[in-house]
Each structure stands twice: as structure tokens, then as C-alpha cells.
Chains A and B, each alone.
Chain A
């Protein structure tokens, strides 16, 4: 194009909108990245960040708006098209084929070997063998391989999504230095991260998304974190102060659940808390901070590498979910499809835990079962007009079935993982009320939520997890969204932020 304006941005996305069914994921998102710049792309849960990334990288086609790379329209919905136009993404989950060697993976992507070796060396893997199987490498090495592969192509725009999550600190420093050097050499970088320290270290600007809109484009300077948090929260700061409840600072004897220094995998490194009878303890964390692993360990899906769990003062090690359930720890997982027998009736779904043990394999006491199931259905107000398979129920009613299962069995310690995600407001309120009710009857509830406002609505206290560690415990009455958001981004620790 002859009339391409002189100092244009290397990547320019404007007015991007995208709708999925009834959900308007993006309304008006824009992003501009100039040569030589690292731009942070920020947004809280549900702001539309991942949809925007998918559009930038050509995975999805926008309903309206455009994405230009080097002045040329690249809103062609194909990852290969985006790559050809010069944008190369590196995702949190390395996109490498596990059963091929490093060299074969490079060949698949037409990656030149010599530059790759150079970058692998720069990034701290000088003696990576090309014939090593991808499967045999650690997650940290895989990230490095993925990044080195991207760098070897010499892209105009690099898109880095949570690149440093679960990397050891020394590697993080190297990676950040290399990324900054890329920008200094005239390339452009889109940097997605939850870590303000990294953003302050290498980014020039930050673009903030909220509710599918780009709400700010700021230069990075000292104290910018506060401004970014404000933008991410938007008008919700003052809202949602209903139902504040004081923490029940019962100095109870023995907590129902005592967790100390729990660690597993690469994400969960040090979490401790006490959960008492009659208490609802919130868990607040950005995506992928170790909360999935925490719930997995407590529910017996996964073993801990370090740390202890005590139930009613007795040490507990679970090798199977059945062990956790026997100790009274029952999980409602985040993904309903994981917990439900979609092709079976409501009744069988709710009664399932009642029949799990071999001594209940014989004749089912149908009357007793019917009574328990009916009571649970009534308590949760499940709409069972759609008889038959659970798959015919609405999402909210399905979620209620996953909870009803444990109500029918009798709840001691309930582990709720984001139980209100994707369900309507009425059902949400019913779930808050139920959780409170259960706690009042002596149950202990651990409540992870991706919606910060829910801490005040449903919890007594909240433990905040950042980067695999419990960084703060906040009383519900102090748990306004800015406080929680700051804590979730690790800002309540000393990071040079004025308070």
C-alpha cells in the first residue's frame, strides 16, 4: 500500500466486537502496539481478554471491527494467517507435540534450527538436546522451548500469554530480559500477565479491558498499579455492599479443616488456613494461581507434595476421592459436566453417593432414597419439570443437582469451586442463602469464587491466593472489591505501592 501513514502502529485493533449466543463477550475492544514497545493487556475475569486474544491470533473472527498488522487487515480467521502476517503467540500451555522430539517439533512448524538453538541458549537452556522427547521435558523447559521457537521465526509482534506462570525465578529474569531486548530491537510485544512487578519491569504501556470494552491505555509509571486496578473494577467499586456480615471470630476449639503449608505440582506452593464449623471461608485468586490444585488435594483427586491437612484435629491423607468423602470433605467441582451423569435422571444423580460403598450395593431402599432425594430437591428448589435426563435441565438447575447430591448425604465440609459461574442471578442468590443455611447448621464451607463481589455476599472471611501462596486473609466486612483485587494481584505485599 503506497499511502500507509508513516509511523503507524505495527498492530492496530479497533472496535472489535464478538457475541456468543446471548453473551456479548466483546463490545468495543481496541489495542495499539508500536514498534519497540511492550504493551500489557489487562482485564479481570470475564472482561473478554481471552476472546480478544483469540481474535488477535486469528482463532476467532470478530463480528465487527478490524485487526491490522503492519497496516494490512489480518482479521482472517486462521491462526496460520495471523502467523504469516507476523504475529506469533506463545500460550500458557505449550503447543508442542509430546511424542515427538524437539527437532521434529521444530520441523513441523518450519522453525529454523540455528536461531532456535541461539535463543534456547539465551533463555537458559544451552544444552537442550534436539533429539530429546518433548514428553521428557519439565514444564518450565517446555515454556522456554515454546518461546525460543517463537523468537526463532523473528516475528514482528509477539503475543505472550502468562508466560512466566510457574517458571522458577532465575528463568523469569532471563525471560523478561530477552522480551525487553526484543522490543528494544524494534519488534512489538503484547504481554499478558497478572504480575504487576513484571509489568512495571518491562512494559511501556498497559491496555485495560472491562466488560468487553477497552477502558484505558496508560503509560507505565510509578504507582500505576492503583490506576489499573481502578480501571479493571470500573463502577463496581461502590456497589454490592448488601449483606455484609461480620466475621464470626469464634475462637472455636478445633477447626473442622486445618491446612498447613500445602503444596503440589508447579502451581500450589504454600497455602495455610483454618476453616471452622459454621464458617464460610472464601478463596479468592486470579485464574491459575493454584486454587484448582488446592481443591483437588482436599477432595482426594491429587496428592500433596508437602504440607498437612487435618480434619477435626486428625491428620488426613487422601489417596482417593472416597477417602475425602469418608472424612466428610465433599467437592462441587467448577465444571458441572465433570460431576454429573448427564444421560441419567435427576434422582440417580442425587442418590449416587449413597450407593458408593460396597455394603450399599444390594437392594436400594427405594422409599428412603426417594425421601432423601425429594428433601434435597425441595431444599434447593430444583425445577424438575423437565423429567428424565439431567442434560435437559437448565445450567442453574444442573448446578443445584451437584450440590443436592451432598445435601442428600448430609454435609460436613463442603468444597465449592466457583459454584455460581454461568448461572442466573436468582439461582445465585438461592445458592448464597443455602450456603449460609448450611453453615448455620454447623457445616464448614470452602467457597472459591471468581466473582469478587461474592465474598461479601456469601463468606465470613476470604483467603487470597497469589502465585501458589496464601498471601492474605480478609474479613468479609473489609472485603470490598478494590481490596480483594489488589490482594489478588499480590499488591498488598510490599511492592512499592503507596497505601
Chain B
């Protein structure tokens, strides 16, 4: 370490760059502390389990954002894909049985992912535009589909309800899905060739290309993978909410971006990781609880939510740019 003029802010900045998780966890702890001050009765194992349960679908959709943002992209179709997967599962299950319904639902997710991959990797459309476009088209298709299945009724598979709402030993069952998922993603981003290439493309796409990476292959795979994750999240979310609506997971679209950004993933690519995103998703969830406790009107709550996200990301960006 060279001796630099270590202003407190600069030192915190270096800490952020080297261990981005530490300040995030401190922030999460501070938020929980404030919550305890507001309402000491609220803190309990039950509350913790509930917070984790709510944060998991958000964190999974934010995984899609993290992975795509690492390459400098984004996936705005995740909410739509999750909604479609949930809706198709719920409406087809009475007709075809659960396994076939789930398979078809994930098939729909894969189709959107392939379309995204084709547009972004091969036609070189900007990910923001491409995923927004496919999301709109897919929503339209869902509306058409809904008119034809309206009579069949809705069945939410028991296994999904167990996964979405059940608890074992006080902890939500969805951890059984999420823990292996999170370990896999975190392993892959550090120890797999694919994960390294995501960082490489985000850090310098030209350099990656010059090193022999066919960037389109990576992007195509990435956006397909992102849609599959979104589809699985949709199934989990269906079990949690227990209704099949046409806008089920849409409200999670932008929070999933926010969770990744708050968690330290750079929207310009090359920096960040899923570990931070998980904490980011928890921070957003705790923040929502906190704002609810303040008993503000909905409008004020949203304004405050937006302001906090802006403040946190601005602070993080300022800190990490000091290196």
C-alpha cells in the first residue's frame, strides 16, 4: 500500500473497492437499527424469515440484472417473463398437469430469452431497447393467450405454494431453492470461464474480442440464461402470491435493477457481483418495511423510496470512483 493522503472518505472508498460487501452490510444493519427504534416489537425471527422470503424473488430477478449489467447490458423483460411463466403454469396446470405446465411455462421463458439473445448478440440492438421490445410483445401475446384460456380456471401447484409460503425450522422454504442458486451464481462469476467473460466484456468489449472471445456467443447464452432465471422466479413468485394475474411480477422490474445497483454492480459493466446484489435486495425490502411503518401516504413513500435509492447509489459511485 502506498501512503496516500487518506481522507476518511478516501479510505472508505478503498474499503469499498476491495470489500464491497462490508459497507453494504453496515448499511443493512443501520436500517434494521432504525427499524428497531421505530418499532422495537417488530424484530423477531418471524419478521426476519418474512423479510428473507420477500427479498428472494427480488434477488433472483436482480441476478438477471447483475449478470447482464456485468457485460454492460440490462434485461428489462424479466418481470414480464416471470409473469408469463407464472400465468401459463397456473392456467395450464388444470389442463395438462403440473409437470407439463411448468415445462411449457419455462419454454415460453426460453423463447423470450432466445429472442433477446438474437436481437442483442446478432442484430446488435441495444439491450435496453431489445428487452423492452420483447417485453411489450410478450405482454401482448399473454393478453391474446388469456382470452383463450379464460374458461379453464386456475390451479396453483401445491409444490409451489410450499416453496413460496411454507416454513421449516422458522426459515422460509424458498431458501431451499435460493441457497443453491446463489451459491451457483457466485461460484460461476468467480470460478467459471463464462463468469470471467461477463466481466471481461463489461470491462472492455474490444479487448475481449481481441483475445478471441466471440462476444455474440456469450451474449446469446447470457440473455437466454437470464430469461430462464426469470421464468423460475415467476414460478416461485406464483407460489408466494398465490394468484395468477397479468401483472404479477411487473412491479419487480425496476426494483430488480435498483437492487443490483444498490448492491454495487456498475451499470456500465465490469464491476460488481451477486453477493452485493443479495444484500441490495435485502436493503430494499427492509426499506420498504420501514417506509410502511412510517405510515406515510403512498405518494410520499414512493418519493422517499426513490430519493433513498438515488442517494445510496450516488454515494456508492462517488466512493468507489476514488480509486
Chain B residues with CB under 8 Å of A357's CB are 212
Residues on A with C-beta less than 8 A from B214 are 320, 322, 356
B192 / chain A contacts, CB cutoff of 8 Å: 361-364
Query: Are A364 and B196 neighbours in the complex by a CB distance under 8 Å?
Result: yes
Chain B residues, Cβ within 8 Å of A367: none
Q: Are B191 and A366 in touch, CB under 8 angstroms?
A: yes
Contact of B211 among A353, A361, A388 (CB under 8 A): A353
**A178 at interface (Cβ–Cβ under 8 A)?**
no
Cβ-based interface call for B144 (8 A) = no
CB-CB under 8 A for A322 and B212, given A338-B207, A342-B204, A343-B270: yes
Interface residues of B in 181-216 (CB under 8 A from A): 191-194, 196-197, 199-200, 203-204, 206-214
Query: Is B292 positioned at the interface, with any CB of A under 8 Å from its CB?
Result: no
**A389 in contact with B207 given A344-B199, A351-B196, A355-B193 (CB within 8 Å):** no
B53 interface contact, C-beta 8 A: no
Indicate if the CB atoms of A364 and B204 lie closer than 8 Å.
no
> Contact string, B160-180, partner A, CB cutoff 8 A, digits 1/0?
000000000000000000000
Residue in A closest to B269 when the chains form the complex, CB atoms: A343
- Given A348-B200, A353-B212, A340:B193 Cβ within 8 A: no
A339: chain B residues within 8 A (beta carbon)? 207, 210-211
Q: Shortest CB–CB separation between residue B87 and chain A, in angstroms? A: 33
Are A356 and B212 neighbours in the complex by a CB distance under 8 Å? yes
Is A48 part of the contact surface with B, judged by Cβ < 8 Å? no
B213 touches A352 (CB 8 A): yes
Q: Is A250 an interface residue (CB 8 A)?
A: no
Is A325 at the interface (CB under 8 A from chain B)?
yes
| Per-residue contact bits, chain A 323-337, to B (CB 8 Å; 1 contact, 0 not) | 001100001010000
| Cβ A348 vs Cβ B210 within 8 A | no
Determine the residue in chain B with the shortest Cβ distance to A333: B210
Instruction: Return the contact of B196 from the options A325, A331, A340, A348 (Cβ within 8 A).
Output: A348
Q: Does A360 contact B (CB under 8 A)?
A: yes
Q: How far does the alpha carbon of A456 sit from the alpha carbon of B204 in the complex, in Å? A: 35
Q: Is A288 an interface residue (CB 8 A)?
A: no
A79-116 interface mask toward B, CB cutoff 8 Å, 1 = contact, 0 = none? Answer: 00000000000000000000000000000000000000
Complex Cα distance, B203 from A338, in Å, reads: 11
Give bound CA distance, A389 to B204, whole Å: 13
In the complex, whether A299 has a CB less than 8 A from a CB of chain B is yes
A49 part of interface (Cβ distance < 8 Å): no
Cβ-defined contact, A338 with B193, below 8 A: no
Please report the C-alpha to C-alpha distance between residue A358 and residue B206 in the assembled complex, in whole angstroms.
Answer: 18
| A301 contacts across to B, CB distance below 8 A | 210
Q: With an 8 A cutoff between CB atoms, is A176 at the interface?
A: no
Q: In this complex, which of B191, B196, B200, B323 has the most chain A Cβ atoms within 10 angstroms of its Cβ?
A: B196
Whether, in the assembled complex, A35 has its beta carbon less than 8 Å from a beta carbon of chain B, the answer is no
Q: Does A321 contact B (CB under 8 A)?
A: yes
Query: Given that A341-B204, A343-B270 are contacting pairs, would A321 and B193 also be in contact in the complex, using a CB cutoff of 8 Å?
Result: no
B194 and A361 contact, CB distance less than 8 A: yes
Chain B, range 207-233, C-beta contacts under 8 Å to A? 207-214, 217, 221
CB distance from A274 to the nearest CB of B (A): 25
**Identity of the chain B residue whose Cβ is nearest the Cβ of A323 in the assembled complex:** B212
Q: Return A37 CB to nearest CB of chain B, in Å.
A: 45
Q: Which residue of A lies closest to B194 (CB)?
A: A361
* CB under 8 Å from chain B, chain A span 286-301: 299, 301
A321–B212 touching, CB < 8 Å: yes
A405 within 8 A of B: yes
Interface of chain A: mostly helix, strand, loop or mixed:
mixed
Q: How many interface residues does A have (CB within 8 Å)?
A: 33
Q: Which of A299, A342, A363, A366 contacts B210 (CB 8 A)?
A: A299
Q: How far is the CA of A361 from the CA of B210 in the complex (A)?
A: 17
* Given known A340-B207, A352-B208, contact A358–B217 (CB-CB < 8 A): yes
Q: What A residues does B271 contact at CB under 8 A?
A: 343
Beta-carbon contact of B199 and A348 below 8 Å = yes
Cα distance A321–B199 when bound, in Å? 19
A389 proximity list for chain B (CB < 8 A) = 323
Docked CA distance A341–B206 (Å): 10
Assembly CA distance A322 to B218 (angstroms): 13
List B contacts of A331 (CB < 8 A).
Answer: 210
Q: How far is the CA of A342 from the CA of B194 in the complex (A)?
A: 19
Which residue in chain A gives the minimum CB-CB distance to B271? A343
8 Å CB contact of B200 from A333, A344, A362: A344
Q: How distant is A363 from chain B, measured CB to nearest CB, in Å?
A: 6
Give 1 or 0 for each of A262-285: 1 = CB within 8 Å of chain B CB. 000000000000000000000000
Task: Select from chain B the residue with minimum beta-carbon distance to A386.
Answer: B2
Return A300 CB to nearest CB of chain B, in Å.
Answer: 9
Contact call A352/B191, Cβ cutoff below 8 A: no
User: In the complex, A343→B323 CA distance in Å?
Assistant: 10
Chain B residues, Cβ within 8 Å of A341: 199-200, 203-204, 207-208, 270
Is the beta-carbon distance between B211 and A356 smaller than 8 angstroms?
A: yes
- The CA of A388 and the CA of B19, in the complex, are separated in Å by 12
Which residue in chain B gives the minimum CB-CB distance to A353? Answer: B211
Chain B residues with CB under 8 Å of A352's CB are 196, 200, 207-208, 211, 213
Cα A343 to Cα B70 in complex, Å, equals 12
Please report the C-alpha to C-alpha distance between residue A159 and residue B216 in the assembled complex, in whole angstroms.
45
Query: Are B212's CB and A360's CB within 8 A?
Result: no
Cα-based distance from A353 to B208 in the complex (angstroms): 8
Interface centre among B194, B199, B210, B270 (most CB of A within 10 A): B210
Knowing A344-B203, A366-B191 are in contact, say whether A355-B209 is a contact too (CB < 8 A): no
Instruction: Give 17 new A-B contacts, CB below 8 A, not counting A322-B212, A351-B196.
Output: A301-B210, A322-B209, A322-B214, A325-B211, A331-B210, A333-B210, A338-B206, A339-B210, A340-B204, A341-B208, A352-B196, A352-B213, A353-B211, A355-B197, A355-B213, A361-B192, A405-B211
Q: List 23 A-B contacts (CB under 8 A).
A: A321-B209, A331-B210, A333-B210, A339-B207, A339-B210, A341-B208, A342-B204, A343-B270, A343-B271, A352-B213, A355-B193, A355-B196, A356-B197, A356-B208, A356-B213, A356-B214, A357-B212, A360-B193, A362-B193, A362-B194, A363-B192, A364-B191, A364-B196
B interface residues (Cβ-Cβ under 8 A, vs A): 18, 191-194, 196-197, 199-200, 203-204, 206-214, 217, 221, 270-271, 323
Across chains A and B, which 5 residue pairs bring their CB atoms closest together, nearest first? A355-B193, A341-B203, A356-B212, A325-B212, A361-B194
